[in-house]
Amino acid sequence: MRDLVLLCIGTDKITGDCLGPLVGSKLKQRKFPYPLYGTLEKPLHAGNLTEQLPEISLVHPDACTLAIDAAVGTKNHIGLVSLSRQPLSPGKGVARPLCPVGDISITGIINEASVSSEILLPYTSLYLVDKLAEYICKGILNSDLPQAR
């Protein structure tokens, strides 16, 4: 079985983009046994992602990566979480797509997709983001992951 590595993507500076680092911080506080990158203290974001990914790949060459990030969607989908067997595309919701990240991915819909998505991100409800982060965190901790080596 391949090792698991979590990539919790986002920044602590914008409420609508802190879902990944918030999940990372919550998992670290609960002593998550797998390697994890991206917390509120040390975010993995657009400014350092392309630099960090090769370094992470060197340290964990055969790992299965689970990427976690916030996303925008339709008004009816705000608050939903999705799990995919596909990588995610960070920055896509604000028209600044970066390279695809992760072998599998989890996204939480934090706001409505629109031409002004980037402008709305700082005004996203922290309550909603925290609830989604807690839900994702509990889902990961309650999953059937094998014990870390």
pTM over 0.75? The answer is: yes
pLDDT at 102: 95
Number of domains in the chain: 1
Domain extent for 15: 4-144
pLDDT at 146: 67
Domain assignment present for residue 149? The answer is no
Q: Which residue has the higher pLDDT, 148 or 149?
A: 148
pLDDT in tens, 84-99: 999 998 876 555 667 8
Q: Identify the three-state secondary structure at position 68.
A: strand
Task: Report percent pLDDT > 70 for the chain.
Answer: 90
pLDDT in tens, 106-136: 999 999 887 666 677 888 999 999 999 999 9
Phi, psi angle pair for 83, to nearest 5° = -115, 130
pLDDT band at 149 (very low <50, low <70, confident <90, very high): very low
CA distance 116 to 83: 26
Domain assignment present for residue 85? The answer is yes
Domain assignment present for residue 75? The answer is yes
Domain assignment present for residue 67? The answer is yes
pLDDT in tens, 46-80: 889 989 999 999 999 999 999 999 999 899 999 99
CA distance 5 to 116: 33
pLDDT in tens, 27-52: 999 999 999 999 999 999 988 998 99
Q: Identify the three-state secondary structure at position 27.
A: helix
Query: 67: domain CATH number?
Result: 3.40.50.1450
Residue pair 115/67 in contact (Cβ under 8 Å)? The answer is no
